[in-house]
Amino acid sequence: MAKWIERQRNIIDFTLSSLLRRKRKNIALIFVYIVVVFFLASVLFFTYSIKKEASMILQGSPDMIVQRMVAGRHELIPISHIDKIKGIRGVSSVKERLWGYYYDPIVGANYTLIVSDDSQLSVGKIIIGEGVSRTRLLFEGDAMEFKTYDGAIVDLEIESTLSQKSELVSSDLIVISGGDFRRLFGTPEGYATDLTLKVRNSRELPTIAVKIAELLPDSRQILRDEILRTYDAVFNWRGGIMMVILMGALLAFIIFAWDKASGLSLEERREIGILKAIGWETSDVLLMKFWEGMAVSLSSFLAGVIFAYIHVFFASSMLFEPVLKGWAVLYPHFKTVPFIDASQIIALFFLTVVPYTVATIIPSWRAATVDPDSVMRS
């Protein structure tokens, strides 16, 4: 056992020194390797962390949302339905919910307005999100102008701004009182945007949803789990599409690696010939090539992952900003919380180190099977 360890140690020693001797050739390869790992890892980390945050946030959303559909579109729902739903066994609370979108022509942004029954907001006061505040340069105490559905102008005072920590979801949010909401949008009394439900036992959700469908045939029931799954699927899909696009870069990298591995310089060929001649066996040379690959792979992988981590979790993925921002006017300043786990690292490993290793197997073998007596004959 000790012999085996010493043998590895000796060969690793020699491998590292020979890598250092050929710095120039390997630098280009390592640079490209790091860049490839960096991009793949950034995409992975970013999508995963957003997914995690979204699912954490959604935990606080209602168990079920009931909306009224007319001709396939979402319409206002009568508040009187609440009594009908309350009677269903297993439902612990039913509440009305008012929310909508407001277009601000000054900056060309869409705000989400919501009536919260938690905060005791008095009429005439609003709470705005960071993004709104930043774009309109409005702060606590300022007045914000709104145009109502019938053309009148309403001034609402900003009571406070939502915390920066919640920017990812609240950037474009405005919390408003019920009275002001109805004044702005003209939503008649007795109607709400939708209804939210809490149930006692989440396992009953599908049954309750079925009962509501029977009771209110023109409604649709949205379960929180369905939302979670849909978000998950969308993020997976987005992340996956990016990966597939990056496959092109990956393929180019593999071809580059193959080429580098196959293109043994005269010097290298001679060196291996000498090793074979003085007593190294093919499997010793193969071992050396293995450690060479490992040294290159592991250092590039590590560096790429670390840079990606810094990029995503400290620099807010700024390289992806153009892609993510799209047409968004209110782009949130958010710091994603570091969420990584072993499966991401292993997946990254399979996507980068494994193809690289496979591409270099045959060139390494060709190099290692040089005849020992070739050195004598030359």
Partner 1 sequence: MIELQDIRKVFNTGRPNEFVALHGVSLSIDAAKVTVFKGPSGSGKTTLLSLVGCMARPTSGRIRLFDREITSLPERFLTEIRRKTFGFIFQHFNLIKGVTALENVMVPAYPDGENHASLKERALNLLGLFNLSHKAHSKVEWLSGGEAQRVTIARALVNNPSVVIADEPTAHLDTKLSKEFMEIMRRLNDEGKTVLIASHDPIIHESDIVHRVIEMRDGKIVTSGIAS
Partner 2 sequence: MIFHPAIIALLLGSILISFMLLYSAFYGMQILKGWNIKSGSELQLSLERRTYLISTVMNYAIGFQLLSLFLFIYTADYLHTLFVGAMCAAGTLNVNHWGYPAIMMKVINFLLAGLWLILNYTDNRAYDYPLIKKKYGLLLFITPFIVGETFLQSAYFLSLKPAIITSCCGTLFSSETQGVTSGIIALPRPPIEAGFYSFMALTFVLGVVFYWNGKGGYLFSLTSIATFLVSVIALISFICLYFYELPTHHCPFCILQKEYRYVGYLIYITLLGGAVSGLGVGMIMPFKKINSLLNVIPSLQRKLTGLVLISYAIFLGTVFLQMIFSNLKL
Rounded Cα distance, 172 and 135, in Å: 10
Strand partners, 147: 153
x-or-dash string of contact with partner 2, 322-351, rule CB under 8 A: --------------------xxx-xxxxxx
Instruction: Assess 286 for contact with partner 2 (CB under 8 A).
Output: yes
Q: Toward partner 2, which CB reaches closer, 40 or 173?
A: 40
Q: Which is nearer to partner 2, 52 or 335 (CB)?
A: 52
CA distances from 137 to 106, 125, 158, 286 (A): 12, 17, 12, 65
Q: Which residues pair with 65 in a beta bridge?
A: 196, 222
**Among partner 2, partner 1, none, partner that 140 touches (CB below 5 to 8 angstroms by kind):** none
Residue 372 interacting partner from partner 1, partner 2, none (CB closer than 5 to 8 Å by kind): partner 1
From the list partner 1, partner 2, none, partner contacted by residue 354 (C-beta under 5 to 8 A by kind): partner 2
* 248 versus 279: smaller Cβ distance to partner 1: 279
Min separation Cβ 294 and partner 2, Å: 12
Question: From partner 2, partner 1, none, which one binds at residue 14 (CB under 5 to 8 Å depending on kind)?
Answer: partner 1
Determine contact, residues 39/307, Cβ cutoff 8 Å: no
The residues binding partner 1 (CB under 8 A) are 2-7, 9-11, 13-14, 17, 21, 267, 271, 274-275, 277-284, 371-373, 375-378
In the chain, alpha helices (H): 2-21, 23-58, 81-86, 130-136, 167-170, 178-185, 205-215, 224-262, 266-278, 282-313, 321-325, 342-368, 374-377
Q: Which does 61 bind (CB under 5 to 8 A by kind): partner 1, partner 2, none?
A: none
Written as six digits, the tokens of 213 are 């469908």
Which of partner 2, partner 1, none does residue 200 bind to, with CB < 5 to 8 Å depending on kind? none
Residue 237 Cβ, how far from partner 2 at the closest point, in Å?
Answer: 5
Q: Find the Cα–Cα–Cα–Cα dihedral 132, 137, 142, 144, rounded to 10°.
A: -50
Query: Burial letters for 343-369: b for 16+ Cβ neighbours within 10 Å, e otherwise?
Result: ebeeebeebbbebbbebbeebbeebbe
DSSP 8-state code for residue 218: T
Q: Which of 54, 49, 53, 47 is nearest to 236 (CA)?
A: 47
How many residues line the site for partner 2 (CB under 8 A)? 41
Residues that bind partner 2 (CB under 8 A): 40, 43-44, 47, 55, 225-226, 228-230, 232-233, 236-237, 239-241, 243-244, 282-283, 286, 342-344, 346-351, 354-355, 357-358, 361-362, 364-365, 368-369
